[in-house]
A and B are shown apart, each in its own frame.
Chain A
Amino acid sequence: MSQDTPRWRRAIARLVDASVKERLVISVAALVLAVAVGFVIVTLAGLAASCTTHPTIFGVRTPSCYDPFAVYSELFLGAIGHPEQVLFGTGTWTPLDFRVASLLRSTTLLVFTGLAVAVSFRAGMFNIGVQGQLLLGALAAALATVYAAPLVPGGVVGTLVLVPVGIVAGALAGGVWGAIPGALKAYADANEVITTIMLNFVAANLAYVAVSTWFTPADSSLVQTATIPAAARIPNVPFGFQPRDNFSLLGLLFAVALVVGVAYLLARTSFGYDLRTSGSQPEAAAYGGVKEKRTMVTSMGISGALGGISGAMLVLMVQGRWLSNLPQLGFDGITVSILAGNNPLGVGFAALLFGVLKSGSAAIGFGTNVPPALVDVLRGLIILFVAMPEFFRLLGGRLGVGGDVDA
């Protein structure tokens, strides 16, 4: 690109450079391929399953128990509440449908875990421990709001105090828990992939013991904390989905703000430069005066803090308390980040896609006889295909569209 290109053009070019374009093509291709393979898996699984009535596809009664078309209709359209009903005049639909809320709820939470993983990956470390950071962040948020509630007035003032308190508590707990494997790697050279996985198990067990020993209300038969005060819930503003949908647009807005914030941090600050340089070439970073150990600990701390925030949001927006069986959003964060090529802006879109898959998974459970665990298979397949860009390059070359991918 020549030097007299307008500055804004160059700025855009920096954001969407060749490698980002390539990532995008590969991610979409991986998604399509995963859906195609999923189609085959559903059909084959239907042959193994037992059922009384076989579905009819294009007027033909199939030997398979499952109808892949119905599955994908539920996965992608059911995920948002079947808006096509309006077109066909067979039903009504509103953008405030509870399934849209469920989709955006998952998206919001996955943005945080996805960003958490992305930050660590960009720093050259694999934080597989987001799940543990999430659990502890959730616990810290629940406890902080429960114990801080008596000290602050209720109503709007209470919300203005308690929500930030919960989020900061979650970020701190997750941040400290995330910084531990960072420090172990920096100062003791302990492989962070293994330590973060181990610390997931440790966090889950410790949190469980702590809650069951000290924080479970006497009248509860389950291991869980007390319910957080109403003032500590993320308020349902600016306008409402149903309160029972456990989703707030404000929460989504916060997620979008963090996407922009992390993107800015990585691309525009000296710290971001240090982090990316240590991630892509540690020797060059050391040469360039990057304090690599400190950068390692800090980036894992930030990554953990984002994981902790996802836990806090899970409590403040969705669950209202800490439970022993919180969803495995930390592992989905790995998928989201890898699909996004560890690009913060990409994480936003990948999280939206996985929101669809999550909501669609529930729709499959309601609307078909296919086990919703299918969506987990798709998740694995997507990552598998994203992992092999060379496959798509060869495929693209064979189909004569290689120019696009190589550009």
Chain B
Amino acid sequence: MTSISLSGITKRFPGVVANDDVTLTVEEGTVHALLGENGAGKTTLMNVLYGLYEPDEGTVSVDGTERAFDSPRDAIDAGIGMIHQHFMLVDSMTVAENVVLGNEPRKWRGLRVDREAARAAVDDLCDRYGFDVDPTARVADVSVGVQQRVEILKALYRGADVLILDEPTAVLTPQEVDDLFEVLGELTAEGKTIIFITHKLGEALHAADDVTVLRDGKTVGALPTADTTREELAELMVGREVLLDIDADAGAPGDTVLDVDSLTVTDGDGIDRVADVSMRVRAGEVYGIAGVDGNGQAELVEAITGLRVPDAGAVTFDGEDVTQRSRRHHIEAGMAYVPEDRHERGLVMDSDLVANGILGSQRAPAFTTGSRIDWQSARTHATDVIDTYDVRPRDADATAASLSGGNQQKFIVGREFERDPDLVVVMHPTRGVDIGSTEFIRERLLELRDEGTAVLLVSSKLDEVTSLSDRLAVLYEGRVMDEVDPDTVTEEALGLLMAGQHPEEQ
């Protein structure tokens, strides 16, 4: 029986058509994957189904009845629950409080939240679906995997029969992903219907019964996973034949450029975010760091790039001890840095590209005479970066905020690479970037390496770090679990390392 049916959905935003006549049919009790590139319109479509957006055209039917949802409340009442990519949880509250938020059981004529009832309800659900979650724990204190369970519990508590999961595996280790798929199995066995949004082919094939592929806001295919192949799905997704593996030639490493020695970074609560990490990055090689987000990568990179002073250990760059030196000194010494968060760090969003082009070089002799900024040469520089790195629109007066994610990233990459650095620290360079820009950025990175620059690459995308790196370290809870050869290591072995286990211990 058909559980969800979306037909002819069109949703326009100023300047873009996010969904263009999209159709989606989901059978009850199945797992359905909604597959597509970033920006293909998957999340928009699900927000329409969840009542967050009102479609400009098209109809939504649940269990054969046509429905119009004005708000998530309506969708929830119709038995639809959504687990967002960024968890919608209140960190300061407990698991139970989060689960019942908005539907609190009450006593004393509604004047008091019944905490015992809330806890009991969560315990019941956990028993039924085999979850191991402590309802009294604060959300801030539990792992990402558990937080995801809490999101699922929230939906189940509200009586959801249909669960929408938006990129549920993005933040999980490979083992946690397996656990999640098991949970999905239990849920469908109990008659629930699952829709999960993903851009990962393998997961769609592995976990789903059916798959619908979106490209540029249009439905380009709907088929049972049993009848398709990786290659077919990839072609549907991208619209042309793609080489699934980038195969980089090995680099030709030279002298050590960056020497990190027993680095330790402690956070405000006295916990070691980075613990005794040592590594050497040589000229002309890409040194990769893999790991699940939040295992100390951010703190390690901040300590290396001069954004924070480590609590112990030393960072030597081009033979100079820069551990205690300012961020400005790092830049001037020739260290480029493509940061993780382009909206917060990499760009000043309200400023135009001329000003953004000299971020970090605002005191460099190339752009100043005395203490005065030479805006003319800044403009020439910004225009050069725009031309060389194919940033669109080709307008140096555009504000950073007006650019798409991929173009913002290309501009940052261009600005940093054009510093003529000895070392580039690159963090999640292709996150949220379209496939064309991704290829472009990866190629540039390898070119830079071939010119003899040292590259430190941090990424949580396994294919990215394994294919680009010459050497690869895995970070878990602030420690280097192991250094592996990216050409020979298996995905399973990497997954175990990322989860904090050595493969031989199994």
A touching B, CB within 8 angstroms: yes
Taking a contact as CB atoms under 8 Å apart, the answer to whether B372 and A269 are in contact is yes
**Whole-angstrom distance from the CB of A79 to the nearest CB of chain B?**
36
Instruction: Determine the distance from Cα of A322 to Cα of B179 in the docked complex, in whole angstroms.
Output: 75
Task: Name the A residues within 8 Å of B359 (CB-CB).
Answer: 277, 284, 287-288
Known: A268-B372, A271-B371, A289-B360. A284 touches B328 (CB 8 A): no
Task: Name the B residues within 8 Å of A274 (CB-CB).
Answer: 362
Taking a contact as CB atoms under 8 Å apart, the answer to whether B326 and A284 are in contact is no
Q: Mark B330-371, 1 if CB is under 8 A from A, else 0.
A: 111000010101001111111100010011101100001001
Taking a contact as CB atoms under 8 Å apart, the answer to whether B372 and A1 are in contact is no
Taking a contact as CB atoms under 8 Å apart, the answer to whether A287 and B376 are in contact is no
Near B by CB (< 8 A), chain A positions 270-291 give 270-274, 277, 280-281, 283-284, 286-291
**Whole-angstrom distance from the CB of B181 to the nearest CB of chain A?**
37
Please name the residue on chain B nearest to A277 by beta carbon. Answer: B348
Q: Mark A281-321, 1 if CB is under 8 A from B, else 0.
A: 10110111111000000000000000000000000000000
Taking a contact as CB atoms under 8 Å apart, the answer to whether B331 and A289 are in contact is yes
Q: Is B307 an interface residue (CB 8 A)?
A: yes
Q: Is A3 an interface residue (CB 8 A)?
A: yes
Known: A269-B371, A269-B372, A289-B326. A281 touches B348 (CB 8 A): yes
Q: Is A7 an interface residue (CB 8 A)?
A: yes
Instruction: Determine the distance from Cα of A205 to Cα of B348 in the docked complex, in whole angstroms.
Output: 42
Taking a contact as CB atoms under 8 Å apart, the answer to whether B371 and A284 are in contact is no
Task: Name the A residues within 8 Å of B360 (CB-CB).
Answer: 287-289
Instruction: Determine the distance from Cα of A269 to Cα of B351 in the docked complex, in whole angstroms.
Output: 16
Task: Name the B residues within 8 Å of A3 (CB-CB).
Answer: 383, 396
Known: A271-B371, A280-B351. A287 touches B345 (CB 8 A): yes
Checking B327, B339, B363 against A270 with a beta-carbon cut-off of 8 angstroms, the contacting residue is B363
Task: Name the A residues within 8 Å of B330 (CB-CB).
Answer: 289
Q: Mark A1-26, 1 if CB is under 8 A from B, else 0.
A: 10100010000011000000000000
Checking B326, B332, B337, B363 against A287 with a beta-carbon cut-off of 8 angstroms, the contacting residue is B337
Taking a contact as CB atoms under 8 Å apart, the answer to whether B348 and A280 are in contact is yes
Instruction: Determine the distance from Cα of A273 to Cα of B359 in the docked complex, in whole angstroms.
Output: 9
Taking a contact as CB atoms under 8 Å apart, the answer to whether B363 and A286 are in contact is no
Instruction: Determine the distance from Cα of A270 to Cα of B355 in the docked complex, in whole angstroms.
Output: 11
Instruction: Determine the distance from Cα of A3 to Cα of B351 in the docked complex, in whole angstroms.
Output: 18
Q: Is B93 an interface residue (CB 8 A)?
A: no
**Whole-angstrom distance from the CB of B238 to the nearest CB of chain A?**
33
Task: Name the A residues within 8 Å of B327 (CB-CB).
Answer: 286-287, 289
Task: Name the A residues within 8 Å of B339 (CB-CB).
Answer: 287
Near B by CB (< 8 A), chain A positions 255-273 give 268-273
**Whole-angstrom distance from the CB of B364 to the nearest CB of chain A?**
9
Taking a contact as CB atoms under 8 Å apart, the answer to whether B328 and A289 are in contact is yes
Taking a contact as CB atoms under 8 Å apart, the answer to whether B355 and A273 are in contact is yes
Known: A7-B376, A270-B362, A289-B328. A283 touches B344 (CB 8 A): yes
Q: Is B397 an interface residue (CB 8 A)?
A: yes
Taking a contact as CB atoms under 8 Å apart, the answer to whether B328 and A281 are in contact is no
Checking A273, A280, A281 against B373 with a beta-carbon cut-off of 8 angstroms, the contacting residue is A273
Q: Is B63 an interface residue (CB 8 A)?
A: no
Instruction: Determine the distance from Cα of A353 to Cα of B363 in the docked complex, in whole angstroms.
Output: 38
Q: Is B395 an interface residue (CB 8 A)?
A: yes
Near A by CB (< 8 A), chain B positions 251-287 give none
Instruction: Determine the distance from Cα of A287 to Cα of B331 in the docked complex, in whole angstroms.
Output: 10
Task: Name the A residues within 8 Å of B355 (CB-CB).
Answer: 273
Instruction: Determine the distance from Cα of A273 to Cα of B356 in the docked complex, in whole angstroms.
Output: 10
Instruction: Determine the distance from Cα of A14 to Cα of B363 in the docked complex, in whole angstroms.
Output: 21
Task: Name the A residues within 8 Å of B350 (CB-CB).
Answer: 280-281
**Whole-angstrom distance from the CB of A280 to the nearest CB of chain B?**
5
Number of interface residues, chain B, beta carbon within 8 A? 34
Task: Name the A residues within 8 Å of B332 (CB-CB).
Answer: 289
Taking a contact as CB atoms under 8 Å apart, the answer to whether A273 and B346 are in contact is no
Known: A271-B371, A273-B373. A284 touches B347 (CB 8 A): yes
Checking A1, A13, A280, A288 against B362 with a beta-carbon cut-off of 8 angstroms, the contacting residue is A288
Taking a contact as CB atoms under 8 Å apart, the answer to whether A1 and B344 are in contact is no
Tell me what chain A mostly uses at the interface: helix, strand, loop, or mixed: helix
**Whole-angstrom distance from the CB of B495 to the nearest CB of chain A?**
32
Task: Name the B residues within 8 Å of A13 (CB-CB).
Answer: 397
Task: Name the A residues within 8 Å of B362 (CB-CB).
Answer: 270, 273-274, 277, 288-289
Instruction: Determine the distance from Cα of A291 to Cα of B375 in the docked complex, in whole angstroms.
Output: 22
Task: Name the B residues within 8 Å of A286 (CB-CB).
Answer: 307, 327, 345
Please name the residue on chain A nearest to B360 by beta carbon. Answer: A288
Task: Name the B residues within 8 Å of A14 (CB-CB).
Answer: 375
Instruction: Determine the distance from Cα of A243 to Cα of B38 in the docked complex, in whole angstroms.
Output: 72
Instruction: Determine the distance from Cα of A288 to Cα of B345 in the docked complex, in whole angstroms.
Output: 8
Task: Name the A residues within 8 Å of B368 (CB-CB).
Answer: 270
Instruction: Determine the distance from Cα of A286 to Cα of B397 in the docked complex, in whole angstroms.
Output: 23
Instruction: Determine the distance from Cα of A269 to Cα of B362 in the docked complex, in whole angstroms.
Output: 9
**Whole-angstrom distance from the CB of B290 to the nearest CB of chain A?**
24
Checking B346, B363, B372, B373 against A284 with a beta-carbon cut-off of 8 angstroms, the contacting residue is B346
Instruction: Determine the distance from Cα of A269 to Cα of B347 in the docked complex, in whole angstroms.
Output: 19
Task: Name the B residues within 8 Å of A281 (CB-CB).
Answer: 344, 348-350
Instruction: Determine the distance from Cα of A288 to Cα of B307 in the docked complex, in whole angstroms.
Output: 10
Taking a contact as CB atoms under 8 Å apart, the answer to whether B307 and A284 are in contact is no
Please name the residue on chain B nearest to A274 by beta carbon. Answer: B362
**Interface-central residue, B345, B349, B350, B383, by most chain A CB under 10 Å:** B345
**Interface-central residue, A268, A281, A286, by most chain B CB under 10 Å:** A281
**Whole-angstrom distance from the CB of B342 to the nearest CB of chain A?**
10
Instruction: Determine the distance from Cα of A273 to Cα of B357 in the docked complex, in whole angstroms.
Output: 12
Task: Name the A residues within 8 Å of B341 (CB-CB).
Answer: 283
Taking a contact as CB atoms under 8 Å apart, the answer to whether B371 and A270 are in contact is yes
Taking a contact as CB atoms under 8 Å apart, the answer to whether B373 and A270 are in contact is yes
Known: A284-B359, A286-B307. A1 touches B348 (CB 8 A): no
Task: Name the A residues within 8 Å of B373 (CB-CB).
Answer: 268-270, 272-273
Please name the residue on chain B nearest to A14 by beta carbon. Answer: B375
Instruction: Determine the distance from Cα of A52 to Cα of B396 in the docked complex, in whole angstroms.
Output: 67
Checking A7, A268, A277, A284 against B344 with a beta-carbon cut-off of 8 angstroms, the contacting residue is A284
Instruction: Determine the distance from Cα of A7 to Cα of B349 in the docked complex, in whole angstroms.
Output: 24
Taking a contact as CB atoms under 8 Å apart, the answer to whether A287 and B307 are in contact is yes
**Whole-angstrom distance from the CB of A267 to the nearest CB of chain B?**
9
Instruction: Determine the distance from Cα of A291 to Cα of B372 in the docked complex, in whole angstroms.
Output: 18
Instruction: Determine the distance from Cα of A289 to Cα of B364 in the docked complex, in whole angstroms.
Output: 11
**Interface-central residue, A274, A286, A289, by most chain B CB under 10 Å:** A289
Instruction: Determine the distance from Cα of A269 to Cα of B374 in the docked complex, in whole angstroms.
Output: 9
**Whole-angstrom distance from the CB of A153 to the nearest CB of chain B?**
37
**Whole-angstrom distance from the CB of A164 to the nearest CB of chain B?**
23
**Whole-angstrom distance from the CB of A84 to the nearest CB of chain B?**
44
Taking a contact as CB atoms under 8 Å apart, the answer to whether A287 and B346 are in contact is yes
Please name the residue on chain B nearest to A282 by beta carbon. Answer: B344
Instruction: Determine the distance from Cα of A85 to Cα of B57 in the docked complex, in whole angstroms.
Output: 65
Instruction: Determine the distance from Cα of A271 to Cα of B363 in the docked complex, in whole angstroms.
Output: 9
Please name the residue on chain A nearest to B397 by beta carbon. Answer: A1
Instruction: Determine the distance from Cα of A291 to Cα of B360 in the docked complex, in whole angstroms.
Output: 11
**Whole-angstrom distance from the CB of A220 to the nearest CB of chain B?**
47
Instruction: Determine the distance from Cα of A289 to Cα of B329 in the docked complex, in whole angstroms.
Output: 8
**Whole-angstrom distance from the CB of A22 to the nearest CB of chain B?**
13
Task: Name the B residues within 8 Å of A290 (CB-CB).
Answer: 328
Q: Mark B378-422, 1 if CB is under 8 A from A, else 0.
A: 000001000000000001110000000000000000000000000
Instruction: Determine the distance from Cα of A315 to Cα of B351 in the docked complex, in whole angstroms.
Output: 40
Task: Name the A residues within 8 Å of B383 (CB-CB).
Answer: 3
Q: Can you list 20 pairs linking A and B with CB atoms under 8 Å apart? A: A3-B383, A3-B396, A268-B373, A268-B375, A269-B372, A270-B362, A270-B371, A273-B358, A280-B351, A281-B349, A281-B350, A283-B345, A284-B346, A286-B327, A286-B345, A287-B307, A288-B359, A289-B326, A289-B328, A289-B363
Give the 8 A-B residue pairs with the shortest CB-CB distance, closest first: A289-B328, A288-B359, A287-B345, A273-B362, A288-B360, A283-B344, A270-B363, A289-B327
New A-B pairs, 17, CB < 8 Å, besides A269-B372, A280-B351, A283-B344: A1-B397, A3-B396, A13-B397, A269-B371, A273-B358, A274-B362, A281-B348, A281-B350, A284-B345, A284-B346, A284-B347, A286-B345, A287-B339, A288-B331, A289-B326, A289-B328, A289-B360
Binding site for B on A (CB under 8 A): 1, 3, 7, 13-14, 268-274, 277, 280-281, 283-284, 286-291
